[in-house]
Amino acid sequence: MKESFDILIVGVGGQGNILFSKILGEAFLNEGYDVKVSEVHGMAQRGGSVVTFVRAGEKVYSPLVDKAQADYIIAFEKLEALRWLEYLKKDGIVIYSDYEIPPMSVISGKSRYPDVDSILKDIGVRHYKIEISSLLMELKNPRVQNTIMLGFFSKLTGIEKQVWERAIENNIRAKLLDINLRAFEMGRDIELKEEELKV
Amino acid sequence: MKRLMLGNHAIARGCFDAGVRVATAYPGTPSTEITEYISQYDEIYSEWAPNEKVALEVALGAAIFGKRALCSMKHVGLNVASDPLFTASYTGINAGLVVAVADDPGMHSSQNEQDTRNIAKAAKIPVLEPSDSQECLDFARRGFEISEMFDTPVVLRSTTRVSHSQSIVEIDERKEVDFEYKKDVEKYVMMPAMARKRHEIVEEREKRLREFAETVELNRIEEGTSNMAFITSGISYQYVKEAYPDACILKLGMVYPLPEKLVRGFCGRFEKVYVVEELDPFLEENIKVMGVNNIIGKEIFKRTGEYSPSFIKTSIENCKLEIPYRIDEELPARPPVLCPGCPHRGVFYSLRRIKNAVITGDIGCYTLGALPPFNAMDTCICMGASIGMAHGISKVSDPEMRTIAVIGDSTFIHSGITGLIDAVYNKSNILILILDNITTGMTGHQDHPATGYNIKGEETRQLDIAKLCRSIGCDVVEEIDPYRINENIKRINDLLEIPGVKVVIAKAPCKLHRRYNTTLPGRYVDPDRCKNCKVCLTLGCPAMSYREIPDIDPNLCASCGMCESLCKFGAISMIKE
* pLDDT score of A29 more than 70: yes
Please give the residue of chain B at the shortest CA–CA distance from A39.
Answer: B164
All residues of chain B having their beta carbon less than 8 Å from the beta carbon of residue A34 are 168
B350 and B454, same domain (yes or no): yes
B457 in a domain, yes or no?
yes
User: Tens of pLDDT along A38-91?
Assistant: 987 766 667 889 999 999 999 999 999 999 999 999 999 999 999 999 999 999
How far apart CA B288 and CA B278 sit, in angstroms, is 17
Scanning B204-233 for CB atoms below 8 A from A yields none
Torsion sign over Cα B73, B78, B84, B85 = positive
Gap from B446 CA to chain A (nearest CA, Å):
12
CB-closest option in A43, A66, A119 to B442? A43
In chain A, what is the straight-line distance between the N-terminal and C-terminal CA atoms, in Å?
Answer: 30
Axis crossing angle, helix A161-171 with helix A145-154, rounded to the nearest 10: 150
Interface A-B: count of C-beta contacts within 8 A = 181
Q: Is B555 on the interface with A (CB under 8 A)?
A: yes
Gap from B165 CA to chain A (nearest CA, Å):
4
CB-closest option in A61, A92, A106 to B332? A106
Residue B18 backbone dihedrals phi, psi, to 5 degrees:
-75, 0
B377 in a domain, yes or no?
yes
pLDDT at B338: 93
Gap from B167 CA to chain A (nearest CA, Å):
5
Q: Examine the fold and report which residue of B478, B507, B536 is the final residue of a domain before the chain moves on.
A: B507
CB-closest option in A22, A46, A105 to B332? A105
| Residue range of the domain that includes B114 | 2-179+186-215
Judged by DSSP in three states, B316 sits in helix
Q: Is A45 on the interface with B (CB under 8 A)?
A: yes
pLDDT at B332: 95
B464 in a domain, yes or no?
yes
B170 secondary structure, DSSP code: E
Q: How many residues does chain B have?
A: 577
Q: Does the distance separating the beta carbons of B331 and A82 come in below 8 Å?
A: yes
Judged by DSSP in three states, B519 sits in coil
Q: Does the distance separating the beta carbons of A40 and B108 come in below 8 Å?
A: yes
All residues of chain A having their beta carbon less than 8 Å from the beta carbon of residue B372 are 104, 108
All residues of chain A having their beta carbon less than 8 Å from the beta carbon of residue B161 are 38, 63-64
User: Tens of pLDDT along A115-131?
Assistant: 999 999 999 999 999 99
All residues of chain A having their beta carbon less than 8 Å from the beta carbon of residue B167 are 35-37, 60, 63
How far apart CA B376 and CA B266 sit, in angstroms, is 55
Domain topology for A5-189: Pyruvate-ferredoxin Oxidoreductase; domain 3 (3.40.920)
Residue B396 backbone dihedrals phi, psi, to 5 degrees:
-120, -5
B128 and B225, same domain (yes or no): no
| Residue B560: CATH number of its domain | 3.30.70.20
B305 and B395, same domain (yes or no): no
For residue B84, whether the previous peptide bond is cis, meaning omega lies within 30 degrees of 0, is no
pLDDT at A133: 84
On whether the CB atoms of residues A54 and A35 are closer than 8 A, the answer is yes
The CA dihedral of A99, A105, A106, A107, to the nearest 10 degrees, is: 90
Q: Best of A8, A10, A40, A41 to disrupt the B interface by mutation (most B CBs within 10 Å)? A: A41
Q: How many CB atoms lie within 10 A of CB A60?
A: 24
Q: Does the distance separating the beta carbons of B166 and A37 come in below 8 Å?
A: yes
Q: Is B164 on the interface with A (CB under 8 A)?
A: yes
How far apart CA B113 and CA B205 sit, in angstroms, is 30
All residues of chain B having their beta carbon less than 8 Å from the beta carbon of residue A113 are 332
Residue B303 backbone dihedrals phi, psi, to 5 degrees:
-95, -10
3-state SS of B455-503? Answer: CCCCECCCCCHHHHHHHHCCCEEEEECCCCHHHHHHHHHHHHCCCCEEE
B38-49 in b/e burial notation, b at 16+ Cβ within 10 A?
Answer: bbebeebbbbbb
Q: Is B519 on the interface with A (CB under 8 A)?
A: no
All residues of chain A having their beta carbon less than 8 Å from the beta carbon of residue B545 are 100, 102, 106-107
CB-closest option in B109, B322, B325 to A43? B109
B374 and B393, same domain (yes or no): yes
On whether the CB atoms of residues A41 and B34 are closer than 8 A, the answer is no
B263 and B405, same domain (yes or no): no
On whether the CB atoms of residues A36 and A62 are closer than 8 A, the answer is yes
Q: Does the distance separating the beta carbons of B167 and A63 come in below 8 Å?
A: yes
Gap from A143 CA to chain B (nearest CA, Å):
8
Scanning B83-142 for CB atoms below 8 A from A yields 108-109, 132
B384 and B466, same domain (yes or no): yes
CB-closest option in B2, B4, B242 to A61? B242
| Residue B102: CATH number of its domain | 3.40.50.970
B514 in a domain, yes or no?
no
pLDDT at A142: 77
Q: Does the distance separating the beta carbons of A64 and B327 come in below 8 Å?
A: no
For chain B, what is the domain count?
4
How far apart CA B23 and CA B13 sit, in angstroms, is 12
Nearest partner of B131 among A22, A24, A63, A65, judged by Cα: A63
* pLDDT interval class at A198 (50, 70, 90): very low
pTM over 0.90: yes
Per-residue pLDDT of chain B (577 residues; tens, 9 = 90+): 789 999 999 999 999 999 999 999 999 999 999 999 999 999 999 999 999 999 999 999 999 999 999 999 999 999 999 999 999 999 999 999 999 999 999 999 999 999 999 999 999 999 999 999 999 999 999 999 999 999 999 999 999 999 999 999 999 899 999 999 999 999 999 999 999 999 999 999 999 999 999 999 999 999 999 999 999 999 999 999 999 999 999 999 999 999 999 999 999 999 999 999 999 999 999 999 999 999 999 999 999 999 999 999 999 999 999 999 999 889 999 988 999 999 999 999 999 999 999 999 999 999 999 998 999 999 999 999 999 999 999 999 998 999 999 999 999 999 999 999 999 999 999 999 999 999 999 999 999 999 999 999 999 999 999 999 999 999 999 999 999 999 999 999 999 999 999 999 999 999 999 898 777 899 999 999 999 999 999 999 999 998 889 999 988 899 999 999 999 999 999 998 6
Instruction: Look over chain A and give the mean of its residue pLDDT values, rounded to a whole number.
Output: 91
CB-closest option in A49, A62, A90 to B238? A62
Q: Best of B4, B342, B541, B547 to disrupt the A interface by mutation (most A CBs within 10 Å)? A: B4
User: Tens of pLDDT along A155-192?
Assistant: 999 999 999 999 999 999 999 999 999 999 999 999 87
B333 secondary structure, DSSP code: P
B62 and B156, same domain (yes or no): yes
Q: Does the distance separating the beta carbons of B332 and A79 come in below 8 Å?
A: yes
| Residue B243: CATH number of its domain | 3.40.50.920
* pLDDT interval class at A197 (50, 70, 90): very low
B336 in a domain, yes or no?
no
Gyration radius (Cα) of chain B, Å: 27
Q: Is B309 on the interface with A (CB under 8 A)?
A: yes
B463 and B551, same domain (yes or no): no
All residues of chain A having their beta carbon less than 8 Å from the beta carbon of residue B444 are 41
pLDDT at A45: 66
Q: How many CB atoms lie within 10 A of CB B568?
A: 8
**B274: β partners:** B230, B296
